[in-house]
């Protein structure tokens, strides 16, 4: 039997990327890691390990940790599993040091299940091994398993050390569980670790992230020795909790104390500058960092990239990313989320692909950041691929990742898959519930959204303003006035929500869509503070109820109150003018929007103008508006023109509009029916039959319209010839009696379209 000599062992150890100084060299392509130089050494190591595995050379137990560490440098999971199998065959898999190395490798690479299997196989586990497993769970965002593992550790009578407490306090900080954090602090004191500086710093961070800045400051003031990390933790706490003035004061005090400022100091402090100042101030701080040679590491780079994206300066964010070769998964994640924030979803996905190509391991934040871009692009295939990768890495139980998966499926039109995944989630926070409620409401399932809100209450998850606003929106879309009123009572009872402008705006919208305009106005009048969303909601309410004069009066009141209108305000006003036939007023406010307020007209504004002209019979002006649009008209714009052609009987223009519509949205039954009705109105029955035959060939079916009525606190929905209601026999009997009475009084039905016997016999005409 042969053993590896010291020289071979050193070769393995020295090829680790942390020991490879070549990685520090500059590159001619800013922002790109020098993969070629890195692989120059790693490829030799790769071949060396494979040669070792295929030969008669048998490594001993002291060599395996170095080999596993080298596999980590290669990010080669397959190779490490081969090494793992060799260790198992030689009986070394029970060794504490080899097991610890394997657990660290698997957790570092996101294979948390494999790490746990190794951990469970080890017969003896000391505190260090428990800490490696705990840190692995924390690194992969599985905080529930981390807390469970700590409980198992205590049940095994293993005494935790300061490293254990640092790890657990970071869990409490990330999850925001203050109660557990306070208990942990008590255990730290009883265990005699209160004077440990690193642990004290972590506890300050925990209190800060949980919003308990009083105890964080008290612990800070009690410390006899403070270092840069201590100051950074409290500054970050003030910034994260919105206390920008306190953050600035503490930053100045830190400078006055003579404590050295590092990259983390600026990374923590930068968000407060954007909050209290402008992007210009952020650039000034960036300039200060460059002038004073502050170490430009990945933390500072991520913070600068983040503020530039949030400030809307995408180009500066890109330049910062390319400033040097220091790139890790956190920087890439900041780029991905920044691109997504600015609507550059293709760039976000490309950045994710680059991250994978560079052999970086995406974490839970990376996955949660890239999934919304898949949703925005409706890229279901890519979303499913990412979901599979998440399952392999065992990250699906992380709330943030689970919420993103749910959102992705819902936005891609697969509400069924979103709901299935949501139901399987073992733990759901308020964000998960809110996303599912919003998804159901926006995908035409308001009753499902209301039921989810009830389940959320049963699960004892705390409601917030988003939960209430989303559920009120579902009540408006359903509509469910009775349940909406119950929610209003809950809002009044919970004083924390009664002053929330978004909840109040949702109440206005709910009452308006349920036909209770007076109640909507009462809610608006009782608001202590109103923003543009509140004003837009009440203006839209009057517009939807066909009262344009009140709309315009409210608009002027809004201006007098000092609230600047936005694009939604003008959209509502133009729409109200269109429904009331106020063409001149609609034209005036469209010009006013662009000329006086500098708001660029969007697609929906042009669609409203087309609708305004079309309803008034000005079809040529409507068509001219479409031709003058600075972007390609969408299906909604052409649909407005087609609807106007049906009302005013312009067959030629209807044919033109329908050609565009059938290209843009070929499976929309409404556009086919509109075109059919245009031909029917002109007596072109052959064309009607052609359109209906085309619908049959494509498999396009008309979605039936529904009406609703509230009776004794319940909402009843029905469609034409509906027999699903349990009292349908009695309802039809009463309807028949009413029709007989109408005929006795001389009533004769007047269809808005001429009828053709053949079409009637085949049930192909639309009688609205």
SS (H, E, C) 697-710: HHCCCCCCCCEEEE
Q: What is the dihedral of CA 197, 200, 202, 208, to 10 degrees?
A: -140
| For residues 362-378, average pLDDT | 91
- In the 8-state DSSP scheme, what is residue 26? -
| For residues 107-130, average pLDDT | 88
Q: What distance in Å separates the CA atoms of residue 279 and residue 290, rounded to the nearest whole number?
A: 17
Token pair of 635, please?
A: 């299906």
Distance between start and end Cα atoms, the chain:
90
Q: What is the pLDDT of residue 315?
A: 92
CA of 101: how far to CAs of 87, 89, 91, in Å? 12, 17, 16
The yes-or-no verdict on residue 589 having pLDDT over 90 is yes
Residue 406 lies in a domain: no
Residue 487 lies in a domain: no
| For residues 222-236, average pLDDT | 88
Residue 45 lies in a domain: yes
Return the axis-axis angle of helices 415-424 and 399-411, rounded to nearest 10°: 160
Residue 91 lies in a domain: yes
- Asked which of 124, 146, 180 is the last residue of a domain, the reply is 124
Q: What distance in Å separates the CA atoms of residue 327 and residue 32, rounded to the nearest whole number?
A: 8
Most confident of 393-397, 585-589, 655-659: 585-589
- Asked which of 103, 124, 145 is the last residue of a domain, the reply is 124
175 pLDDT band (50/70/90 cuts)? confident
Q: Which of 697, 618, 627 is nearest to 662 (CA)?
A: 697
26 pLDDT band (50/70/90 cuts)? very low
Q: What distance in Å separates the CA atoms of residue 107 and residue 124, rounded to the nearest whole number?
A: 20
Q: Is 394 left (phi over 0), alpha (psi -120 to 50) or beta?
A: left
Cα 74 to the chain's mean position, in Å? 33
Q: What distance in Å separates the CA atoms of residue 673 and residue 16, rounded to the nearest whole number?
A: 68
Q: In 3-state terms, what secondary structure has residue 674?
A: helix
Q: Is 715 left (phi over 0), alpha (psi -120 to 50) or beta?
A: beta
Phi, psi at 485, each rounded to 5° = -65, -35
Sort strands 714-718 and 707-711 into parallel, antiparallel or unpaired.
antiparallel
Q: What distance in Å separates the CA atoms of residue 571 and residue 597, rounded to the nearest whole number?
A: 14
Q: What distance in Å separates the CA atoms of residue 93 and residue 96, rounded to the nearest whole number?
A: 8
709 pLDDT band (50/70/90 cuts)? confident
Degrees to nearest 5, angle at CA 278 with 275 and 280: 140
Alpha-helical regions (H) of 127-177: 127-139, 143-155, 162-175
Q: What is the pLDDT of residue 18?
A: 41
The boundaries of the domain holding residue 695 are 629-768
The yes-or-no verdict on residue 30 having pLDDT over 60 is no
Q: What is the pLDDT of residue 750?
A: 57
Q: What distance in Å separates the CA atoms of residue 361 and residue 24, rounded to the nearest whole number?
A: 20
Residue 684 lies in a domain: yes
The yes-or-no verdict on residue 350 having pLDDT over 90 is yes
* Residue 657's CATH number: 1.25.40.10
Per the prediction, the chain carries an average pLDDT of 82
Mean pLDDT is lowest, of 57-66, 319-328, 618-627, for: 57-66
Mean pLDDT is lowest, of 233-242, 415-424, 618-627, for: 233-242
Mean pLDDT is lowest, of 422-426, 503-507, 688-692, 743-747, for: 688-692
- In the 8-state DSSP scheme, what is residue 765? S
- Cβ neighbors of 739 (< 8 A, separation 6 or more) are none
Name the residue with tokens 């059938």.
Answer: 662
Residue 333 lies in a domain: no
pLDDT, tens only, 613-625: 999 999 999 999 9
Residue 105 lies in a domain: yes
Q: What is the pLDDT of residue 282?
A: 84
Q: How many domains would you assign to the chain?
A: 2
The yes-or-no verdict on residue 705 having pLDDT over 90 is no
- Asked which of 93, 109, 124 is the last residue of a domain, the reply is 124
| For residues 643-654, average pLDDT | 84
Residue 81 lies in a domain: yes
């Amino acid at each position: 039997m042969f053993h590896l000599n010291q020289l071979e062992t050193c070769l393995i150890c020295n090829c680790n990327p942390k020991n490879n100084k070549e990685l520090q060299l500059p590159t001619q392509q800013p922002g790109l890691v020098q993969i070629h130089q890195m692989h120059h050494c790693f490829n030799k190591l790769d071949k060396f390990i494979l040669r070792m595995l295929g030969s008669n050379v048998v490594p001993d137990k002291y060599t395996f940790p170095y080999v596993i560490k080298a596999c980590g440098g290669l990010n080669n999971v397959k190779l490490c599993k081969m090494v793992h199998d060799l260790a198992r065959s030689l009986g070394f898999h029970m060794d504490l040091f080899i097991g610890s190395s394997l657990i660290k490798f698997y957790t570092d690479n996101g294979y948390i299940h494999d790490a746990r299997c190794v951990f469970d196989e080890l017969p003896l586990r000391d505190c260090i091994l428990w800490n490696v497993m705990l840190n692995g769970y924390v690194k992969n965002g599985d905080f529930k398993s981390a807390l469970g593992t700590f409980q198992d550790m205590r049940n095994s009578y293993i005494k935790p050390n300061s490293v254990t407490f640092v790890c657990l306090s970071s869990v409490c900080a990330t999850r925001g569980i203050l109660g557990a954090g306070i208990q942990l602090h008590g255990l730290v004191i009883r265990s005699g670790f209160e004077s440990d500086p690193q642990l004290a710093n972590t506890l300050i961070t925990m209190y800060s992230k949980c919003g308990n800045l009083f105890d964080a400051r008290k612990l800070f003031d009690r410390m006899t020795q403070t270092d840069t990390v201590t100051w950074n933790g409290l500054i970050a706490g003030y910034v994260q909790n919105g206390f920008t003035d306190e953050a600035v004061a503490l930053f100045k005090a830190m400078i006055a104390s003579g404590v050295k400022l590092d990259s983390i100091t600026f990374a923590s402090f930068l968000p407060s500058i954007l909050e209290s100042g402008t992007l210009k101030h952020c650039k000034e701080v960036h300039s200060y960092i460059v002038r004073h040679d502050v170490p430009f590491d990945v933390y500072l780079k991520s913070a600068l990239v983040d503020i530039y994206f949030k400030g809307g300066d995408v180009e500066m964010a890109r330049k910062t990313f390319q400033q040097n070769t220091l790139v890790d998964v956190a920087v890439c994640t900041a780029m991905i989320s920044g691109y997504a924030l600015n609507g550059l979803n293709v760039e976000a996905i490309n950045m994710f692909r680059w991250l994978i190509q560079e052999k970086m391991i995406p974490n839970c934040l990376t996955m949660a950041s890239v999934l919304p871009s898949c949703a925005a692009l409706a890229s279901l295939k890519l979303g499913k691929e990412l979901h599979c990768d998440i399952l392999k890495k065992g990250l699906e139980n992380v709330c943030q990742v689970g919420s993103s998966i749910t959102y992705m499926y819902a936005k891609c039109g697969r509400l069924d898959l979103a709901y299935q995944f949501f139901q399987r989630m073992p733990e759901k926070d308020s964000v998960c519930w809110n996303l599912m409620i919003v998804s159901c409401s926006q995908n035409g399932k308001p009753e499902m959204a209301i039921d989810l809100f009830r389940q959320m209450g049963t699960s004892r998850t705390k409601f917030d303003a988003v939960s209430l606003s989303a559920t009120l929106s579902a009540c408006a879309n359903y509509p469910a006035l009775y349940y909406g009123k119950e929610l209003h009572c809950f809002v009044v009872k919970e004083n924390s929500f009664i002053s929330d402008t978004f909840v109040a705006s949702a109440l206005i919208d709910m009452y308006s869509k349920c036909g209770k305009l007076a109640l909507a106005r009462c809610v608006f009048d009782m608001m202590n503070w109103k923003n543009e969303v509140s004003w837009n909601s009440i203006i839209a309410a009057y517009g939807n109820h066909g009262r344009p004069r009140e709309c315009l009066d409210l608009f002027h009141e809004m201006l007098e109150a000092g609230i600047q209108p936005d694009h939604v305000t003008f959209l509502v006003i133009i729409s109200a003018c269109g429904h009331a036939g106020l063409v001149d007023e609609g034209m005036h406010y469209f010009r006013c929007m662009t000329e006086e307020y500098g708001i660029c007209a969007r697609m929906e504004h042009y669609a409203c103008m087309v609708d305004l002209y079309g309803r008034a019979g000005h079809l040529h002006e409507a068509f001219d508006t479409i031709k003058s649009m600075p972007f390609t008209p969408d299906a909604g714009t052409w649909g407005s023109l087609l609807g106007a052609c049906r009302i005013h009987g312009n067959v030629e223009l209807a044919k033109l509009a329908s050609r565009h519509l059938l290209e843009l949205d070929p499976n929309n039954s409404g556009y086919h029916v509109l075109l059919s009705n245009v031909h029917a109105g002109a007596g072109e029955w052959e064309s009607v039959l052609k359109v209906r035959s085309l619908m049959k060939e494509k498999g396009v079916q008309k979605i039936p319209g529904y009406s609703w009525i509230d009776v004794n606190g319940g909402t009843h929905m029905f469609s034409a010839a509906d027999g699903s209601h349990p009292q349908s026999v009695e309802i039809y009997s009463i309807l028949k009696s009413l029709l007989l009475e109408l005929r006795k009084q001389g009533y004769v039905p007047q269809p808005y379209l001429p009828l053709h016997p053949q079409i009637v016999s085949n049930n192909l005409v639309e009688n609205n």
